[in-house]
Amino acid sequence: MSDNINNSNEILLKNNLSRQSCVRVVRKSNLPLILKAEAEKFIERNILQDCGMVPPNCLKAFMLKTAQKMGLQKIVPYVKDLFRSKIGYDGYYLDGGKLFRVDLVDNSRDFT
């Protein structure tokens, strides 16, 4: 019986996630497949259990940092404008329960 409860809870969380605008935009975007795959992994490991959503500020910060690490500087402006949110929280973002610093090449972090 607990398996049924866990399965239905997981389905509800995934439904909430699929309705979240930042997740929908990333999934429908024309980003390079490697960046989309990394974003999808981030989304899966950072779903908030209480609401079934991912923090958009953290998602954006992760995507920008990952794009820079991959040498995809040309798409950074596109990623910044992909969905409305700030980049992280006061220069940091969470990923899998760990805190990471957002170090953008141009030293600015508040692109919305």
Q: Which residues pair with 95 in a beta bridge?
A: 98
Total structural domains within the chain: 1
- The string of pLDDT tens digits covering residues 46-84 is 999 889 999 999 999 999 999 999 999 999 999 999 999
Residue of 7 and 92 predicted with greater confidence: 92
DSSP secondary structure of 86-106 = -SSBTTEEEETTEEEE---TT
DSSP designation for 66 = H
Q: In the chain, helix, strand, coil percent, each to 5? A: 55, 10, 40
Over pLDDT 70: what percentage of the chain? Answer: 79
Domain assignment present for 43: yes
Q: Please tell me the distance from the alpha carbon of residue 64 to that of residue 21, in angstroms, as a whole number.
A: 18
Q: Is residue 106 part of a domain?
A: no
Q: Kind and range of the H or E element at 61?
A: helix 56-69
Q: How confident is the model at residue 16 (pLDDT cuts 50, 70, 90)?
A: confident
The domain of 57 spans: 2-101
Is residue 24 in a domain? Answer: yes
